Structure 1
Amino acid sequence: MTKAWILSVGPSKKQWVNPAMKSSKRKRLALHLDQQIEGTVYTDQTTLQRYSTDKSIYQVVPQMVVSPASMEDLTTIVSTARDENLSVTARGGGSGTAGAALGEGIVIHLPRNGFLGNIVDFSTGAGKDYITVEAGVYHDTIQTFLKKEGYYLPADPSSSPLCQIGGNIATKASGPHGFSHGSIDRFLQDIEYISARGEHIDSARPKSIPPTLRAALTQLQEKVRADKATVSLLKKRRNFKTASGYNLFALMAELQPEKILAQLFAGSVGSLGLITRATLRVEPYTPEKAALLLYFTDLHALSLATQEAIAAEVTAIEVISQATIRLLKRRKGAGSDELHNGHLLFIECEGPMRQARLAQLKEKLRKSPNLLVPPQEAQTEEELAKLWKIRKQILPVLLRPGAGMKALSIVNDVGVPPQHLAHFIEDIETFFRKKGLETVIYGHAGNGNLHLRPLINIKETDLKERIQAIADGVYEIVFRYKGTITAEHAMGRLRTPYLEREWGSSIYRHMKRVKDIFDPDNILNPEAMFGRGAITDKMRHDLFEPVQK
């Protein structure tokens, strides 16, 4: 994909614009905008269709696509949208699965390495190692640059070749090493953005923050801290991996208003402002890694092994369910003959103590009566890559699950406290078995973050009802274990109806107050954070078209 970072514009809560805007009005608006900016405006159907979908189950055709060439262009777009009672939705690389980056109106794209596609600064010293990047820089580009300098950004989503840093921040991205290093908010230092009023605000320059915004954030912090129920729940979930709703944990920390502002953008899915630049803390790259691969016949034994690995302070703990392993073996993909018919646990450790830690862990785990085969070890980069390749075998199954089938992203990013992992997987497998669905289950066992991908026959006439029932049923189980609707992929129209159920009415009201402070007219991505509609609204048309065998 040669496009970079995207914004789409749709209707605001004040006056929703008819999605089928008259061609004459669209042409007049496009001509007006084209005359006001340096960039280019497109209204051809090929371009509009291209930006009507992402990796989600949704399709929303925009009114026009704009390629800006300057910060002034972005300000003009926001001002025009506000004057025309339109809303603005920020889109990154289009790799999201929750439909947060789709909207009716203007979609803005940036060419790779073009406007907002640059690494601005990199500095190290005295434990202050930072990189400043523009929103459209692809994650892989950042990691390649940093590794040449001996550093890396530990928040490393698996979709790194497809996603941009602006989108990573907006979704509170994490990845396999989020267990030990945390999500991207842990590394976010400062943010620059265009506000709903068209202001250019930089958290590193406190004077750029309007006094009214600063005062509102201070007042919000006081209200949140005075709410005993809110404080209690936030403290309980402080170390729990979640990317649902706004990052209210920032209000519990001893931070200045400008730092609170930056932290609130982590997981905001473009609903607070249009990110243009960010400064992130980076860490020295550690090439010394080692790993263990284990197969268990019993989920509870796997769960106990996970707790042992957590105590051993390892770097990553990945899980693939036994049913998923059987599916991979049945597909006979590359290396599938080396898989064993059990629940897979992959444990990685890094640093000078890696071998000693893994040796101690191996000694404890090899005595488990539920261990299917002796643990496999990886001490070299080649051996490690071979083990990680097993995890990557899942992708072909998701892309090509079989004739008439699709591995739809419906409940693909749930999370529960890791001590409940075994019972949760058992309940989920029972639920899908009763639905007659084969399901791919894998994820980050160390923090209880699982990706669930049921294989669905899209030729079923009741597809929408089945999708709604799957979401309702899975989230009911998630809530039973005090879990989250999204651990690292963030919000979007796929999840908005379940947000209040997860957090409760008190915190939900505080989150809505955050939105009101930053965007009182609700012009920024209004359907990404809050919503009550069915998750099956605006589904992709190709899900209902005949499937070629």
Structure 2
Amino acid sequence: MDERLQQLAAQLDGALHFDWLHKALYATDASVYRKTPLAVAFPKTVSDIKKLIKFAADEGASLIPRTAGTSLAGQCVGDGIVVDVSKHFTQIISVDEKARTVKVQPGVVRDELNTFLEPYGLFFGPNTSTSNRCMIGGMVGNNSSGTTSIKYGVTRDKVLALKTVLSNGEEVSFSAISEATLKQKCATETLEGAIYTMLYSELSSETTRAEIQAQFPKPEIHRRNTGYAVDALLDTEVFGTTETPLNLCNLLCGSEGTLAFTTEITLQLDVLPPRERAIVAAHYHTLEACLDDVNHVMQHPLFTCEMMDDVILDCTKHNKKFEPYRFFVEGAPKALLLLELRADTAAALLPQIAALQATLNDTAQSYAAPVLTGKEIDMAMELRKAGLGLLGNMVGDQKAVACIEDTAVALPDLPSYIREFSTIMEKYDQKAVYYAHAGAGELHLRPILNLKSDEGVELFRNITTDVAQLTKKYRGSFSGEHGDGIVRAEFLEMQIGTENFELLRRIKNCFDPNNIYNPGKITDAWPMDKSLRTDYQEQEISTKLSFDDSKGILRLAEKCNGSGDCRKSEHAGGMMCPSYQATKNEKDTTRARANMLREVLTQNDRNNKFDSEALKEVFDLCIGCKACASECPSNVDMATAKSEFLYQYRKTHKASKADLLVAKSTHYNKLGS
């Protein structure tokens, strides 16, 4: 296979790597999973992507599309060729100011797109906690939402057109089409024609449509990534009674790269929101009181309605960067609601604030509700954004695990749903972490588990199964915005019923009969409790420096949960990570160093565990600035780890002449002056 990969590499304009270093770095994303890929590709052109598709078809391999790799459900993990488009597919192609649209390649960073659009008075609404490094291609693959979905909708609502490459190499553009155009496409002898023919045949059945409407999540739940969104195709002129044209972008959005390879995206934009804003930060003594208030506060014109519990708030006490951001927290709340209001003028904002405060006073559930303005708002929202990463700062083997963290239910169901959820947690003697887009009915609920133990892995499956059944009871969405991936895909049949699930399998088979695109996700799912990144036997590792605050150097590396904060660019503010900002290579991120350190310390069979050229390479461009010690939400201090590595590495390898010259540079400078 190496010879054939070398031949493929020679054909590409971009790069293809199949060395251990790159395969190890791309074996994980921000989930709990680890699968070693066959290779890692960095295509430069659509032609490169077509060559990769042909290679996969000829060799029985697969392709795993990837941008920033911040997915929480294992979407970017697989044993095929990981295709990273974040390096070269990064162009903002055009803006149509009048139509309020923009065309981009999938590797454009969400926040950088909005910086570009600001002079036009426009922006792309969906706003995830990873917005300073997540990319539009990944947002389309996941149907991402974020804090603003209650006002601006989800990514699926914004995707107008997609340029794609199908599994047979056909280049096809998907966009809104009329019923007449649909019939023309069905008449063509192409894979595109076969796809439209299959969908038209399947969804023309009244029985099929009724089954979809009965089993899929309630339509009022706008955060919904339950398999392929066939329910979104029904309310059109082709299959329903509306004049809405059929657009298969609704199906592709949220499909996690399993149906087609996207190369260009056309997005609908919104006018910039009103500039004057305020946040009312409602404090609660109990989680139940907080959730009971959600329905009441949502009667106001909120732009965001976000919840944090005391577990996340307590994490911020130990973080150098985010502890000062707690300035507005009064007492010891069990939960907070951050309620954002906006208006064109400060005068227009005041009555909105007063009305919201009156509602909070009437319900009498909260005990404090300070009003934040100006930079205070940014600090509060940054505190909330850091939540997922901060959870990785839990020292030791017990971690807040993403498995049931993406459930969404209708707002009227939220209080009773959470009460039943709490009963499940009590059954397993669990203290869960509650982190929520409460206004959208979505709760990021995380059990705290030790996945290194058999008991922890068993709980991982049992808790996920019970919550999947509970979500089905309320006709909720088991995946609101984080995707199905590996962790939730095997529960899809339970969620939507066997008949609907078989329909999804037929759709996958029609688009991708050879299962080239991202296998193991959505249909024919891999087991959710296998291929974990903690599947290794630990050994005692002696160090010169003390890593007691992390319970050892291995657990320091394990603190990295893959959230990718170190991939933010120089435009995002902060210092982390300067080497990545210079090279834009994954191997030069803090995440890569932590991942490789974990890989080497657990996989290296040499007497000196630190004797690794791959580890030396990822540490090579680390300048020891220690930005990771403060800016990384998990405080993954790779500068100190590098010092330990070099000390241990030099036990086996003597210092080079270049190292000695630098070490004695002061002496030689004096001689030369």
**SS of residue matched to 1:527:** coil
Distance 1:453 1:355 in 2: 37
1:292 matched to 2:280? The reply is yes
Separation in 2, partners of 1:425, 1:543: 35
Structure 1 residue aligned with 2:95: 122
What are the within-5 Å matches in structure 2 for residues 59-458 of structure 1? 59-110=34-85, 112=87, 114=88, 116-125=89-98, 128-204=99-175, 210-223=192-205, 227-233=209-215, 236-254=218-236, 259-286=246-273, 287-322=275-310, 324-325=312-313, 333-336=323-326, 338-340=329-331, 341-352=333-344, 354-373=349-368, 375-378=369-372, 380-392=373-385, 394-395=387-388, 397-458=390-451
C-alpha distance in structure 1 between counterparts of 2:42 and 2:315, whole Å? 43
* Larger radius of gyration between Structure 1 and Structure 2: 2
Change (3 A) 1:85 1:274: same
Match of 1:476, SS state, is helix
Helix, strand or coil: the match of 1:217? helix
Q: Structure 2 vs 1, CA of residues 183 and 476 (structure 1 numbering), >3 Å: closer, same or farther? A: same
**Mean Cα deviation higher: 175-184 or 460-469:** 460-469
Matched AA of 1:120: I
* Counterpart code for 2:61: L
Aligned letter for 1:418? Answer: L
Supply the distance in 2 between the matched residues of 1:517 and 1:224 (Cα, whole angstroms).
Answer: 21
145-154 vs 213-222, which moves further: 213-222
Following superposition, the deviation at residue 528 of structure 1 comes to: 0.9
More displaced, 471-480 or 98-107? 471-480
Is the Cα contact below 8 Å between 1:437 and 1:455 reproduced in 2? yes
1:52-77 CA-to-partner distances (Å, cap 9, x unmatched) read 11111111111122222221111111
Displacement after TM superposition at 1:392 (Å): 4.0
For the residues of structure 1 that align with 2:18 and 2:334, how far apart are their CA atoms? 53
CA shift at 1:173, angstroms? 0.5
Deviation of 1:168 after TM superposition, in Å, equals 0.5
- Please tell me whether the aligned partners of residues 91 and 101 of structure 1 are also in contact (alpha carbons under 8 angstroms): yes
| Amino acid of the structure 2 residue aligned with 1:316 | T
What is the CA–CA distance in structure 2 between the aligned matches of 1:465 and 1:27, rounded to whole Å?
A: 38
Contact 2:86 2:108 in 1 (8 A): no
Question: Is residue 220–residue 410 contact of structure 2 (8 Å, CA) maintained in 1?
Answer: no
SS of the equivalent of 1:349 reads: strand
- Unaligned runs of at least 5 residues, structure 1: 1-25
The normalised TM-score by structure 1 is 0.87
Shift of 1:545: 3.6
* Contact 1:119-1:132 within 8 A present in 2 as well: yes
Where 1:193 maps in the other structure, the secondary structure is: strand
Match of 2:17 in 1: 42
The change in CA–CA distance for 1:461 and 1:220 in structure 2 (over 3 A counts) is closer
SS of the residue aligned with 2:461? Answer: helix
Aligned partners of 1:526 and 1:108: how far apart in 2? 14
* RMSD (Å) for aligned C-alpha atoms: 2.7
Q: 1:255 to 1:488 in 2, by over 3 A?
A: farther
- Greater displacement, 98-107 / 194-203: 98-107
Q: 2:233 touches 2:246 (CA, 8 Å); kept in 1?
A: no
Change (3 A) 1:39 1:323: closer
Q: Assess, with a 3 A threshold, how the Cα gap between structure 1 residues 381 and 150 changes in structure 2: closer, same or farther.
A: farther
- Which residue identity is paired with 2:362? K
Deviations 1:471-490 (A, max 9, x none): 12332332333222110011
1:500 counterpart residue number: 493
Q: Distance in 1 between matches of 2:31 and 2:445?
A: 14
Shift of 1:354: 4.2
Q: Distance in 2 between matches of 1:538 and 1:482?
A: 30
CA gap of 1:376–1:64, structure 2 versus 1, over 3 A, is: same
User: For 2:147, what is the secondary structure of its paired residue?
Assistant: coil
Distance in 2 (CA, whole Å) between partners of 1:201 and 1:124 is: 25
Distance 1:535 1:217 in 2: 29
AA paired with 2:432?
A: T
**2:324 aligns to what SS in structure 1?**
coil
More strand by share: 1
The one-letter amino acid paired with 1:518 is F
Deviation at 1:123, TM superposition (A): 1.0
Give the residue type in structure 1 aligned to 2:419: E
| Alignment partners' CA distance in 2, 1:267 and 1:245 | 8
* Structure 1 residue identity aligned to 2:371: E
Whether the 8 Å contact between 1:329 and 1:339 is mirrored in structure 2 is no
* Per-residue deviation, 1:176: 0.6
* Structure 1 letter corresponding to 2:199: L
Identify the range of structure 1 (68-77 vs 140-149) with the bigger mean alpha-carbon deviation: 140-149
* Deviation (angstroms), 1:367: 2.9
Q: Which one-letter code corresponds to 1:293 in the other structure?
A: A
What secondary structure, in the 3-state scheme, does the structure 1 residue paired with 2:31 have? coil
Asked if the contact 1:61–1:103 (Cα under 8 Å) also holds between the matched residues in 2, the reply is yes
Query: 1:120-162 CA distances to partner (integer Å, 9 max, x unpaired)?
Result: 001111xx20010001112222122112332111111111123
Deviation at 1:296, TM superposition (A): 2.4
Counterpart of 1:73, as a letter, is D
**Which range moved further: 264-273 or 97-106?**
97-106
Q: 1:327 to 1:87 in 2, by over 3 A?
A: closer
Runs of 5+ in structure 2 lacking a partner? 240-244, 540-550, 556-673
- Measured in 2, the distance between the counterparts of 1:57 and 1:88 equals 20
* Stretch of structure 1 that moved more, 79-88 or 252-261: 252-261
8 A Cα contact 1:493 1:531, kept in partner: no
Q: Residues 153-209 of structure 1: CA distance to partner in whole angstroms, max 9, x if unpaired?
A: 111111112321111001000001112221101011000111011111112597798
User: For 1:311, what is the secondary structure of its paired residue?
Assistant: coil
Report deviation, 1:395. 4.3
1:260 partner SS: coil
Deviates more, 1:61-70 or 1:173-182: 61-70
Question: Aligned pair count?
Answer: 518
In the TM superposition, what whole-angstrom CA distance separates every residue of 1:394-436 from its partner, at most 9, and x where no partner exists?
3453121123332222222111222222233333334334433
* Cα pair 1:123 1:130 within 8 Å, conserved: yes
Q: Answer 1 or 2: higher relative contact order, Cα 8 Å, separation at least 6.
A: 1
| Whole-Å separation in 1 of the counterparts to 2:36 and 2:52 | 18
| In structure 2, distance between residues paired with 1:152 and 1:496 | 32
Matches within 5 A, 1:501-540: 501-531=494-524, 533-540=526-533
State how far apart, in whole Å, the 2-side matches of 1:351 and 1:450 are: 28
Deviates more, 1:146-155 or 1:35-44: 35-44
More deviation in 441-450 or 218-227?
A: 218-227
User: Shift in Å at residue 261 of structure 1?
Assistant: 1.7
Taking the aligned partners of 2:519 and 2:48, their CA distance within structure 1 comes to 22
Distance in 1 (CA, whole Å) between partners of 2:432 and 2:536 is 18
